[in-house]
Structure 1
């Protein structure tokens, strides 16, 4: 009989790397509510915040650098606005560089500032540290976004010290900027720092840097026109998105230097919106109209029928232009008539207005009641 002890067995537990923390899940729900049909972009942003929580992000690079490609009107800029709202409590709480304003070399100096001795050296550059940090400071002071409760684990990651200020920077339609701007972004994305004209160094290591581009938009638009993506049952939507993504990547390689493209953490091609996506976006737009009506000087309550909703979606559907035609349809078919009714004193504060279709044309009804019960009056 052997006296040797049996080797100890170790218990192993299978871990789930796809599980999100409660704090990051809060961001996830807010982003997915506002950004429809673009899961890869949201996942990249959520992974960046997981790195902050885990404390394993690279401290010598920006928190996240992304390039957004894809057709027009699919949510590239909307994603940045939704992120700013989730973090700082305001949709415009980010530094936005409209690159078409910096098409010439001398206009780029507005971003970095003029060197000492040159005219304009006393003007604060657009990418100064103060301008970068101000949205975080304002959100903390006013208790907005992640700082509203003042306790969550994410809020504790950003104490009131400069080294912890978070910022979001958007370079919109970067292909329209002078190449001098592209060269500046090379160092920014690699080292997380940018030297201004006055020799001050700006820290981007706690910045989310997003670059959008519409290169290849014409080729993608033509492909969408031919295949009418998302509006035929037999359409292979995944295959079409793959083809569109390939066209976008090829166009980006033709338009930008390889060393520029190679600095991004991820290059994401936004997906084409399906009918289901457009329906969700339409409901978000109607929610915004509803809030505007309630917050107006003469607040009213709006109801609409299913057939009217389908009419709006039909009028606002154009696969080549994404969700923007839907916004125009809402303004033309709903907001403009409502504005005329309010301005002509046909409705008063507190009225309940119902919108329906009659002979395929929208009609506006004022709901009320009398001795016989509920009533509806057509208003014109």
Structure 2
């Protein structure tokens, strides 16, 4: 066969994408059927359930390799049908498992916040929203009470690829006027012009992402001006003049502004109700007369606050919620102990109550985590270092209320300087039983290790 005939066959029967230097990693059978321009094979694969929306490692769907218009039409029809099937499946999943239920599995407490966010997302998902503007939230409240976690869970719910679908920007990095360029990109002639900005690059990759602006009150006013354009128009122009349309994105700002006022008001509401477990909500009167003036002083512009769809208030935890937080954290640590050290760890209610007493309303769940690490995990690490924790051991965590005199007696150690009238505060105790049934008792870090067979 003449070389000209080979060239003619190659041009007429094979896709231009077929060349030795092309990257075909992640291609499906449908990709290859399109590449060899075989419409019968494409139709057959689609009839037997091939997914026309699958992308290869370059992010290309089969239709992007189609040379023949009939194959393109076939794939376009299949993609449309697939999209309808996926939408119907997602609607059914939302009906059977509402977003509220999914969030409650991860978020402790914050019922009002969960209901508010879920209702707004539901409106958007089902087409009952203003398509000319993105959805904008402002999460208000103390540190460590679930603001960031709720944003992450919304992103995980809406996007399969959480790395692209969740954009987190620390606004404390944008406190100076010149840092606006880092946000949206440098103008022509300046260093970094071709790179774009942190926000614009991320939104270009995923225009419908969930974007978290953490600690928004720390940003420079010029950065807030850029955000106002973003919230108002649903688009952002970067330093290169490229406009990114992101009306389908969801923007969540967090702020600690007024957090102390919110916490004290919530505690007062619980006190007035006479029930620490009462399901309280922030009143409209408090929002308008107390919080709005505070927010105006920090964000300066009424039009900025006016573009926020929902201001969501996160409240301090109740006693039962704190108990749940402690148990969740201890369960997580026990799973790590079993996986990393082959140790079984258990605890009783007294331990939980002791940790709950260390709760700081202004630091939220973080204060609980710090208390667990300080009172329990440090003791486990010390016991491990001293050779008391061997693989297969069972560690029961409990609380000791014994006085100093009692502890000295039980350890069979004499100390002439002990004052029998002085009682120690409650202390964490590790009761360790090894695989052979031998028991060791390890007191907290301020005490000598006590062991017996």
Displacement of 1:120 in angstroms is 1.4
Q: 3-state SS of the aligned residue for 1:127?
A: helix
- Pairing partner for 2:140 from 69, 80, 95: 69
- Pairing partner for 2:342 from 288, 299, 302: 299
TM, length-normalised to structure 1: 0.74
1:14-47 per-position Cα deviation (integer Å, ceiling 9, x unaligned):
xxxxxx9642635322311222222232223323
Displacement of 1:113 in angstroms is 0.6
Larger RCO: Structure 1 or Structure 2 (Cα < 8 Å, ≥ 6 residues apart)? 1
Change (3 A) 1:26 1:199: same
Change (3 A) 1:330 1:110: same
Partner residue of 1:287? Answer: 331
Higher gyration radius (CA): 2
Displacement of 1:127 in angstroms is 1.1
Query: Please, which moves more after superposition, 31-40 or 233-242?
Result: 233-242
Displacement of 1:103 in angstroms is 0.4
TM, length-normalised to structure 2: 0.63
Query: C-alpha distance in 2, partners of 1:48/1:228?
Result: 26
Query: Please, which moves more after superposition, 46-55 or 266-275?
Result: 46-55
1:286-341 per-position Cα deviation (integer Å, ceiling 9, x unaligned):
23223332342x23221001111111111x22334333321211111111111222
Query: C-alpha distance in 1, partners of 2:173/2:100?
Result: 33
Query: C-alpha distance in 2, partners of 1:336/1:244?
Result: 42
Can you give the 5+ residue segments of structure 1 that lack an aligned partner in the other structure? 1-19, 135-161
Q: Is the counterpart of residue 252 in structure 1 residue 295 in structure 2? A: yes
Query: Please, which moves more after superposition, 300-309 or 285-294?
Result: 285-294
Displacement of 1:346 in angstroms is 2.1
Q: CA RMSD in A?
A: 3.2
Query: C-alpha distance in 2, partners of 1:231/1:294?
Result: 45
Partner residue of 1:261? Answer: 305
1:259-310 per-position Cα deviation (integer Å, ceiling 9, x unaligned):
00000111122223221222222222223223332342x2322100111111
Query: C-alpha distance in 2, partners of 1:40/1:228?
Result: 14
- Pairing partner for 2:255 from 189, 194, 213: 213
Give the number of aligned pairs. 324
Partner residue of 1:159? Answer: none
Displacement of 1:94 in angstroms is 2.2
Displacement of 1:223 in angstroms is 5.9
Change (3 A) 1:206 1:248: same
Displacement of 1:60 in angstroms is 2.5
Query: C-alpha distance in 2, partners of 1:120/1:376?
Result: 64
